[in-house]
Amino acid sequence: MKIKKLYFGIIVISIAVISLVYIISISANENYPALQNYNGQIDFYKSLSCGCCDVHASYLRNSGGLDVNIIEVEDISKIKSQYNIPKSFESCHTVIIGGYFVEGHIPLEAINKLIADKPDINGILLPGMPSGSPGMPGRKNSEWIIYSMSKDSTTNEFMRI
């Protein structure tokens, strides 16, 4: 009798977990319609030893419903040079999506705006590794300014979050 109750409990818990995962996957990116409709490749360049990069990639997958291709490189500076990312704006990883670069721990809200608006720029940047940003520990203690970088490498404010 105890074994039947145990099996029944395992089945009930399994169904609950599967249902929860299904609901989360369906609603994961409903707040990000441009990302929900994005079918292109997403390349996530990171160094071999960066742990916060893995957390940010998981955030993009789980909260954005995105299919992220992680590419571990020995020298991340080569990717930053390839996209002309200014040293003062560098972070620990670079994402390439829809022909744009996304530098740093940028929230999905900004990535969705980038893909939806399709501005004539090279990409967006969140300098450093701000506390509380996706993938970073701590609390958000100030407004994040996300910058755009134009084709001529000038930077301007893209949005504030």
pLDDT at res. 114: 97
pLDDT band at 123 (very low <50, low <70, confident <90, very high): very high
What's the CATH code, domain 32-160? 3.40.30
E strands in 39-139: 42-47, 68-73, 93-97, 100-103, 123-125
* 112 vs 34: CA distance, rounded Å: 6
Segment 83-101, tens digit of pLDDT: 999 999 999 899 999 999 9
Note the pLDDT tens digit of each residue in 23-45. Answer: 444 344 468 888 888 888 899 99
Q: Read off the pLDDT band of 153 (50, 70, 90).
A: very high
pLDDT at 150 over 60: yes
Amino acid (one-letter) located at 140: K
- Record the pTM: 0.78
3-state class (DSSP) for residue 125 = strand
Domain residue ranges of the chain, discontinuous segments joined by +:
1-30, 32-160
DSSP 3-state of 110? helix
Backbone angles phi, psi at 56, to 5 degrees: -65, -40
